[in-house]
Amino acid sequence: GLSPAAVTYTYPEWSVEDGGRRDDAIANAIADSAPGDVVLLEMQTINFGSGYGPAELDPVIFNLVKVGTQSGVVVVGAAGNGNQDLDHAVYATYQGWGDSGAILVGAGTADAAHDKLWFSSYGSRVDVQGWGEFVFSTGYGDFALLGGDDKQSYTNTFSGTSSASAMVAGVATLVQSRSVALNGVGLAPSMVRQLLKDTGAPQGAGGKIGPAPDAGAAVAASFTHHCR
């Protein structure tokens, strides 16, 4: 919805034929992407701690993401809904891996306070936040199911770090679209991440999930970032 003209491809992490296929889904999504494209990891996992954190807590996923970002693909990932402190000593192994280059997204309130929601994982590795509640989107049908058609099904309660990361992926896509239109090439993943942080609205209360991206400010600033 934030970038309605974007061409979208989906890579299901489960299929009838293969069952669970998260590694293959991410690998294929990155392999099929060109530098400047945006890949959204709408997923979470439990590793090291006792609750859900980002998918890259799995070392295989971490390495796949790092390969993607190093090749110029912008990877946006949900921070997870387990209220995990990613700076805690239990995550020392994960911390030791360094930076995958992904944009990790926490869940904030759907208002100008931009407070951390109670369930969102958090820490210095979480870059920015999106709305983790009351997001209008397709699916579910609890808001409207037009003509009984699943393809015209809508909700206004999409939530969690899933809704938050989807919003941020949309903003990243707008930034890249602007950069390509003006310069013929997208920004590097690290530049997109820093731009979203630099132009976002400050976080309110709670563990660190970062600023809330401002789509207008980020898009306006993308040309300046590219020229540096």
The answer to whether the CB of 154 falls within 8 A of the CB of 144 is yes
Task: Calculate ∠ Cα 115-97-47, nearest 5°.
Answer: 65
CA distance 76 to 78: 7
Helices (H), 105-159: none
Strand-pair category, 53-54 with 74-78 = unpaired
Please, what sign has the CA dihedral across residues 215, 77, 124, 207?
A: positive
The two beta strands, 14-15 and 19-20, are antiparallel
The length of the chain in residues reads: 228
pLDDT (tens place) for every residue of the chain, 228 residues total: 788 889 999 999 998 988 999 999 999 999 999 999 999 999 999 999 899 999 999 999 999 999 999 999 999 999 999 999 999 999 999 999 999 999 999 999 999 999 999 999 999 999 999 999 999 999 999 999 999 999 999 999 999 999 999 999 999 999 999 999 888 899 999 999 999 999 999 999 999 999 999 999 999 988 665 544
Whether pTM exceeds 0.85: yes
Separation CA 189–CA 34 (nearest Å): 12
Backbone angles phi, psi at 202, to 5 degrees: -60, 145
